[in-house]
Amino acid sequence: MEYSDLVEDIQKQYPLLPIEETIIIANELGIKHPTDLKSGQPIVMTTDFLVTTKNNTEVKSLLEH
């Protein structure tokens, strides 16, 4: 991806925000959302890569895990 002319930007460990949405998704899937062991507060989840590509004049981001 790094050498493609279509790739505008590559970001690693991109935060999935707002955190309220990942909590809702986890609940809908019956998965426990990660929390800090000491405080019990939800931890921001991340995706491995956020790839922003360009197609003519349109720029869009694609999430990959």
- pLDDT tens digits in sequence order for the chain, 65 residues long: 889 888 888 999 999 999 999 999 999 999 999 999 999 999 999 989 888 888 766 666 655 43
Q: How far, in Å, CA of 48 to CA of 51, rounded?
A: 10
Q: What is the enclosing helix (H) or strand (E) of 29?
A: helix 19-29
Torsion-angle region of 37 (φ positive above 0: left; ψ -120 to 50: alpha; else: beta): alpha
Residue 53 is encoded by which pair of tokens? 């590509």
